[in-house]
A and B are shown apart, each in its own frame.
Chain A
Amino acid sequence: MRIAEGEVVAIMGENGAGKTTLLKHLNGLLKPSKGRVKVDSVDTREATVATLARKVGLVFQNPDSMFFCTSVMEEVMYGLYMFGYSEEEARERCREVLERFDLWSLRDKSPFILSGGEKKRLTIAIVMAWSPKYLVIDEPTSGQDREGKQRLLQTIETIMGEGRSIILSTHDVEFVADLEPRVVLMSQGQVVAEGEAREILTDRALLEKASLLVPQIPSLFLELNRRCGVGLEHRLLRVEEAVCVLRGRFFRGSGVGCDELLDSRRPQI
């Protein structure tokens, strides 16, 4: 398996499929007993975690496992000091990242008393503070409400725009459907499929191998095809795009703004 620079990869699979184990190999917390893991041609067995962490920022699944300082600001500053940033530069970066993730007003609070969404944003802010080349996020949506997920999606999309590589593990198919990354499907410690989200997330048989369900919109299209024989293409679409497709198919007219919306998605469809 190879992950290119600037690529966004979602590692998907059921609980216990080996997603977290795989992610912990990327910054050397776990070392392979067979095979090799290389980060920019450096073998992880020959480098310390501290060295690899400069390039590979790992966001843990459970935010509480990442916190060990007494305030939000100290949490962010910790890594910066470890990587040798000067006091002034560390403070500057800390302020910048906390403002970006809308956490600056909480800087003196204990990280443990933050809400679930704030904790998750803080874990990403901690890692983003030293701008790692590869951002690895373990189960970004676990324990997040709808608003939290939406905010996370926006955050990740912004980071994607910076050209940084993002590797995330999740079993949240709807979240991945919105991001449309390359998908690596895992089951029982093995990679069972690799490909674009639009191919993997619309293949019901393949997803069932990893105990996952097809996202709701392709699933709706598949059901319409099965029950009504309407011959819709069951592709990954957002709600507003699906509405446009259905209006165009059944109401003879695509509606206001639909052509532009669907055109903007066409290269990806």
Chain B
Amino acid sequence: MSFSIVAGLRYRSLDTAIHRLDPRVKLLISASFLINALLFNEYFGGMGTVASIIVASQLSLLSIAKSHRSLLMAMRGAIPLIAIVYVLNSLGGWAEGIPLEEQLYRATASSARFLAFITSFSLFFLTTSPDEFGLLLFKLRVPYTYAFVFVAAVRLAPTLADEVQDIIDAQRSRGRELEGRNPIRILRGVVSIFTPLLINSLRRAYEMAEALEVKCFGASQKRTSYRELRMRRTDYAVMLVTIASEALVLYLRALGILSGLP
């Protein structure tokens, strides 16, 4: 069993043009992907087309960032969820009594949209370090304590994934059957992971709180920062291109140019 969705969205420290972009610009690009995935919600209003373009754009940008394999891994991990969306949509269409071709089209478009939705922030997460994320939140005037909570949560996600793997390994080593093809048995096995994971997470949170206190967290109201975020010319240029592209998409939608498209 793997947790490739989480593992696939894990930040990797690389030195590429995308990694060097200001996190505010990357946040804007990812937000633009998310808005478009949410906005195009009509089956014959470009839903499938836009969703496919979003996924393709992310793959292209992430190939520049040398991280496209991570996104593909996350997408592979999302296959069971996408399959559920596909089946539910097919059943919905069948209940409504629409023709089979349209049922299949609706299920495909919804699945593509779901994929675009869950991967929309992959560019941001794969290329932004937790520290940059913290600085970004601080710049967005989020109080430091809350910003730190977010950063700690993001930073702990891979640790949590490792912890899940440890629990799975420990249970399998003591006879818990988590392999094979019996979905009920596998589901029961997965449920049994949650209680120990919760206990371990609480324990880890307590240890982290102690470590923070040892490092004088909150000792001073006016804290300084080791690094400051500064926008460069390239950042401004990419930001302008993103805003212009989003404006164009919104304009096209307002004009109804994409209506009738799959």
Partner-B contacts on A (CB < 8 A):
24, 27, 29, 48-50, 53-54, 57-58, 60, 62, 64-70, 78-79, 82-83, 112, 126-127, 130
Q: Assess whether B174 is in contact with A126, with CB atoms less than 8 Å apart.
A: yes
**How many residues on B have C-beta within 8 angstroms of the other chain's C-beta atoms?**
19
Which residues of A have CB within 8 Å of B178?
49-50
* One of A29, A69, A70 near B173 (C-beta < 8 A): A29
Q: Assess whether B166 is in contact with A65, with CB atoms less than 8 Å apart.
A: yes
Chain A-chain B contacts (Cβ-Cβ < 8 Å), number: 61
* One of A53, A64, A69, A83 near B172 (C-beta < 8 A): A53
Top 10 nearest A-B pairs (CB, nearest first) are A68-B196, A82-B175, A79-B174, A49-B172, A65-B166, A48-B179, A50-B177, A66-B170, A58-B173, A50-B175
Can you show 10 pairs from A to B with CB atoms below 8 A apart? A27-B173, A49-B178, A50-B175, A50-B177, A53-B172, A66-B170, A67-B196, A68-B196, A78-B171, A78-B174
Q: B139 an interface residue at 8 Å Cβ cutoff?
A: no
In the complex, A177→B175 CA distance in Å? 33
Partner-A contacts on B (CB < 8 A):
166-167, 169-180, 195-196, 199-200, 203
Distance of B34 from chain A, by nearest CB (Å):
36
Given contacts A67-B196, A78-B174, 7 further A-B contacts (CB under 8 A): A24-B169, A29-B169, A50-B175, A65-B169, A68-B167, A83-B175, A112-B199
Q: Assess whether A60 is in contact with B175, with CB atoms less than 8 Å apart.
A: no
Which residues of A have CB within 8 Å of B180?
48
In the complex, A64→B196 CA distance in Å? 11
Q: Assess whether B172 is in contact with A70, with CB atoms less than 8 Å apart.
A: no
Distance of B161 from chain A, by nearest CB (Å):
14
Distance of A44 from chain B, by nearest CB (Å):
12
Which residues of B have CB within 8 Å of A70?
199
Distance of A139 from chain B, by nearest CB (Å):
15
Minimal Cβ-Cβ distance residue in B for A83 = B175
Q: Assess whether B166 is in contact with A48, with CB atoms less than 8 Å apart.
A: no
Q: Assess whether B176 is in contact with A82, with CB atoms less than 8 Å apart.
A: yes
Q: Assess whether A49 is in contact with B196, with CB atoms less than 8 Å apart.
A: no
